[in-house]
Amino acid sequence: MLIIHHPDELSDYLLRLKIQQKSIGFFPTMGALHAGHISLLHAAQKATDTSVCSIFVNPTQFNNPDDLAKYPRTLEADIALLEKEGCDVLFLPNAEELYANEKPMSLDFGGLATYFEGASRPGHFDGVARVVRLLFDYVNPDHAFFGLKDFQQCMIIRSMIEQLGLNLKLHFEPTLRESDGLAMSSRNIRLESALRNSAPVIYKALTFAQASFGSLPIHEIEAQAKSMIEREPNYKVDYFQLADARTLEPLNDEDKNAEPVALAAVFAGDVRLIDNLLMK
Ligand code: PAF
């Protein structure tokens, strides 16, 4: 696996491959890689000639400095895993060089960024869009891969690509789960054992919502799911809400044509976990 640090060096290298008609499959990450990330690599390997991973803990998408400081960093293990899985290129930029030639952009995500992570983490999606756009500029991928665990992020990136008119194919890959249902996440390694043992409650609440959808009123589903989660010691729900997956507007019982999805963000101690499930 080739490891490249400088953004210009990466784009020169990948441009040479493009000239040889090699397609590029890109999956951006913040490291602390797990099987969910590897499923993105495998999807990239299947669809393209060259798999490119980036690892960059992007400061502009953290509204909470403590969360940024505590974000897990496991670079050596990440490199070993990517090598073992046959990734072709790893991009490891630093913030100064990556942001050095940033061009201003003005995007409007409308309702997509209003609720959920948009409301709880002000500025988060602006930071995500800024960094993904920069990474896309340097990588110039033919295909890009994102995990559906970050459901709202997927919708934001799709909207960004449309607004900027970027010519690439976007792939959303299903959430991978531990055997007890907990969605795989880099943050899971921060859960101490009692909190980790309780963590499947989030998926249980989501599957409860799925099973009750259509038979209970939405506010009742949301209230019961919330109290299910908050029965676990040191668990606190930030939001547990149903939305229309296409607009990410909160759902009400009259919306018969919506594509319902339940979105959850939960504090397990000081570790914030997110998850989601389509209701149909
Ligand atoms: O999902 C993530 O890990 C990050 O938000 C991303 C897409 C790599 C941008 O920093």
The CATH number assigned to the domain holding 248 equals 3.30.1300.10
3-state SS, residue 177:
strand
Q: Is residue 276 lining ligand 1, measured as CB closer than 6 Å? A: no
Residue tagged active-site, from 5, 6, 34, 37: 37
Structural domain ending residue among the three candidates 120, 139, 173: 173
95 with 216, same domain?
A: no
- Residue identifier of the C-alpha nearest atom 9 of ligand 1: 128
Q: Is residue 275 lining ligand 1, measured as CB closer than 6 Å? A: no
Structural domain contains residue 252:
yes
pLDDT tens sequence for the chain (280 residues)? 999 999 999 999 999 999 999 999 999 999 999 999 999 999 999 999 999 999 999 999 999 999 999 999 999 999 999 999 999 999 999 999 999 999 999 999 999 999 999 999 999 999 999 999 999 999 999 999 999 999 999 999 999 999 999 999 999 999 999 999 999 999 999 999 999 999 999 999 999 999 999 999 999 999 999 999 999 999 999 999 999 999 999 999 999 899 999 999 999 999 999 999 999 9
Structural domain contains residue 154:
yes
Residue 219 annotated to the active site = no
Structural domain contains residue 181:
no
Please, what sign has the CA dihedral across residues 75, 81, 84, 87? negative
123 with 237, same domain?
A: no
Structural domain contains residue 179:
no
Tell me the residue range of the domain where 167 lies: 2-173
Q: Is residue 134 lining ligand 1, measured as CB closer than 6 Å? A: no
Distance 28 CA to ligand 1 centre (A): 6
Question: Ligand 1, residues 27, 33, 53, 58: which to mutate, most atoms within 8 A of Cβ?
Answer: 58
Give the integer Cα–Cα distance in Å for 258 and 251.
8
What count of other Cβ atoms lies within 10 Å of the Cβ of residue 44? Answer: 27
167 with 42, same domain?
A: yes
CA angle 249, 253, 257 (to 5 degrees): 65
Q: Is residue 185 lining ligand 1, measured as CB closer than 6 Å? A: no
Give the integer Cα–Cα distance in Å for 51 and 88.
5
- Tally of structural domains, the chain: 2
Q: Is residue 117 lining ligand 1, measured as CB closer than 6 Å? A: no
| Digit-coded pLDDT (tens) for 72-127 | 999 999 999 999 999 999 999 999 999 999 999 999 999 999 999 999 999 999 99
112 with 133, same domain?
A: yes
Beta strand ranges found along 49-106 (DSSP E): 50-55, 89-91
Give the integer Cα–Cα distance in Å for 260 and 254.
12
> How do 143-147 and 24-29 pair as beta strands?
parallel
44 with 81, same domain?
A: yes
168 with 197, same domain?
A: no
- Residue identifier of the C-alpha nearest atom 6 of ligand 1: 29
Give the phi and the psi of residue 205 in degrees, each rounded to 5. Answer: -65, -35
- Regarding pTM above 0.75, the answer is yes
Cβ contact 268:251 at 8 Å = no
Q: Is residue 131 lining ligand 1, measured as CB closer than 6 Å? A: yes
For the stretch 130-143, what's the b/e string if a residue is b when 16 or more beta carbons lie within 10 angstroms of its beta carbon?
bbbbbbbbbbbbbb
Structural domain contains residue 132:
yes
46 with 99, same domain?
A: yes
**Closest atom of ligand 1 relative to the 54 alpha carbon:** 8
What count of other Cβ atoms lies within 10 Å of the Cβ of residue 2? Answer: 12
**Closest atom of ligand 1 relative to the 30 alpha carbon:** 3
Structural domain ending residue among the three candidates 129, 150, 173: 173
